[in-house]
Amino acid sequence: MIENSLKGILFMSVGALSMAGQVTAGNDVRPNVLFILADDFGWNDLSCMGSTYYETPNLDRLAKRGVLFTNAYATCQVSSPSRASIMTGKYTPRHGVTDWIGAASGEAWRKQGRGTKLLPPKYEMSLKKEEYTLPECLRDHGYTTFIAGKWHLGEEGSWPEDHGFDINIGGWSAGNPKGGYFSPYSNPKLKDGPDGENLSMRLGKETISFMREHKKKDKKKPFFAYLSFYAVHGALETTQENWKYYREKAEKMGIKESGFVVDRTLPVRQTQDNPVYAGLIKQMDDAIGVVLDAIDEMGLDKNTLIIFTSDNGGVTSGDAYSTSLLPLRGGKGRQWEGGVREPLLIQYPGCEKPGSTCDVPVIGTDFYPTILDFAGLPLETEQHVDGVSLMPLLKGKSIADRSLFWHYPHYGNQGGEPASVIRKGDWKLIYYYEDEHCELYNLATDISESEPLNIQYPEKVKELKVLLDAWLIETGARTPVADPLYSPQKETALKLRWRTKVLQQQEANRKRMLDKTWAPNKDWWGSIVTFD
């Protein structure tokens, strides 16, 4: 077993005894849970985390009422694995979903034309039936379970209703909004609204309708509502009014001549000045606002735990090159902090220090035991083996020290490389499978991961690598293998294109989107903004 396993299990057991039932003391009604998950939303893509360009008044309101975590992480730099970890309480090698479902692996990877040295391993293409998911557990304890929005954990037969959700509005196989962010949606689990209806607001209103109907039927029966936005995943769309507002804001703030640099592989955005992306964020924040208003109006705020986070980092390279997460390095699909560090806001009834922050590192496996603990339910320690309850942190107390781990043996569409990672305290070690080298960083002194410290601290490299190797063995992690047909010429040619043509394209796209005359086409709610 790895060094923190037994300690973590003991802590969870003690935590369950000490915390269970406290929240509902004197109240025979179990608390409700609203879990809000954004897609591809970066660590500082919101105002309360430092953005001066994006405006998120409703997320800021949630931060003022609850606790803001500054060192919160997803379990993976892409979506399906981290979503599976939320549902199971397990790290990605344990549940087996190690890449976004639909990504090529094995010899099929060659068809991507990347000419890489390695073939990424095969992975689970759906959430396993034998996993006892969070909604299944809550349903077994009397909760009504509801999802509105993105699922992306398997084809039909492995949809939300197959894994514990009583009601499913909009969750199916797809990982992005096939019809865009305005109706018609091209979603078999979501009826179209009138032309121009916004997807994020629709999902918010569906969640409100569920809560209202649920309250009418049985006030004493608790609910678990999983509001899983497709936003802010590409392709990007917003209204013409939003685009105009944020284009003018970018102009007032001063538009920089250059917006990208090449970091190892692809160009990476250095500026938060994308007016379409900013408008997409606003649409999601507006939807969150109406949900929070409805919770207050119905009096549910007195008995509802609200969690907001994201499934992976913002898209700084690849896809639509949407945002910048500086001072964090990288973004979605990449192995640095920008790929996995997330915003996390938790509001709970009777919050002792509203508006406070917590700097303790936490991760997506922790939500399962935290929700059970808050509800006064017994922990499922054999299921959520990699998570601990965060209730002590919410109460201003501490949790046991532990290491955090990541395993992504794939090539990211956004330039990420096959790697495994450990964070212990302020130290972070990245192990690369292509050439078996390591990078050591101290996040307390170098949050941007700009200067590896391998030479200065060789013993720390050895210590962390031993722990990482033991964890990989314990979890049965699958690793990539060398491709006997590897073509260095093809790889070199592609990387040259990324450093030249793609860089030039993205600089031109950025400037064009900020031009007063720009528009994707005349029919905004039928348009999708994408770039090669």
Q: Rounded mean pLDDT of 453-463?
A: 98
Q: Is residue 440's pLDDT more than 90? A: yes
Q: How sure is the predictor about 10, in pLDDT bands with cuts at 50, 70 and 90?
A: very low
- What pLDDT is recorded for position 220? 84
Report whether pLDDT(298) > 60: yes
Which pLDDT score, from 0 to 100, does residue 7 have? Answer: 33
Is the distance from CB of 93 to CB of 85 less than 8 angstroms? no
Q: Is the pLDDT of residue 484 over 90?
A: yes
* Residue 6: pLDDT over 60: no
- Please give the order of strands across the beta sheet that includes 419-424: 403-408, 419-424, 427-432, 438-442
Instruction: Express each pLDDT in 324-346 by its tens digit.
Output: 999 999 999 999 999 999 999 99
Q: 0.95 exceeded by the pTM?
A: no
477 cis-preceded (ω within 30 degrees of 0) = no
Question: What mean pLDDT do residues 307-320 have?
Answer: 96
Question: What's the 3-state SS for 87-116?
Answer: HHCCCHHHHCCCCCCCCCCHHHHHHHCCCC
Q: How far is CA 223 from CA 145, 162, 180, 364, in A?
A: 6, 18, 29, 21
CA angle, 390 as apex, 385 and 392 as ends, to 5°?
125
| Span 257-264, average pLDDT | 96
- Extended strands (E) in 260-384: 260-262, 267-269, 304-310, 341-347, 356-358, 362-363
Element at 144 (helix H, strand E): strand 144-149
Lowest mean pLDDT among 132-141, 309-318, 522-531: 522-531
Q: In the chain, what are the domain boundaries?
A: 5-24+31-105+123-526
The pLDDT score that the predictor gives to residue 263 is 96
The answer to whether residue 323 scores a pLDDT higher than 50 is yes
Structure-model confidence comparison of residues 1 and 86, the more confident one = 86
Dist CA 246 CA 29 (whole Å)? 45
**Whole-number average pLDDT of the chain:** 93
Q: Which of 162, 164, 131 is nearest to 385 (CA)?
A: 131
273, 286, 335: which is closest to 515 by C-alpha? Answer: 273
Asked whether residue 509 carries a pLDDT value surpassing 60, the answer given is yes
pLDDT higher than 80, residue 21: no
Is a pLDDT exceeding 50 seen at residue 532? no
- Overall average pLDDT of the 231-258 stretch: 95
Instruction: Assess whether pLDDT exceeds 80 at residue 26.
Output: no
Radius of gyration of the chain (CA): 22
Pairing relationship of beta strands 67-73 and 438-442 according to DSSP bridges = unpaired
pLDDT tens per residue across span 53-66? 999 999 999 999 99
* One CATH from 1.25.40.10, 1.10.540.10, 3.40.50.300, 3.40.720.10 for 5-24+31-105+123-526: 3.40.720.10
pLDDT at site 262? 96
The predicted model gives 377-405 an average pLDDT of: 97
pLDDT at 23 over 70: no
CA distances from 255 to 270, 510, 514 (A): 12, 10, 9
Question: What sign does the dihedral 150-413-46-198 (CA atoms) show?
Answer: negative
Q: What is the mean pLDDT of residues 173-189?
A: 95
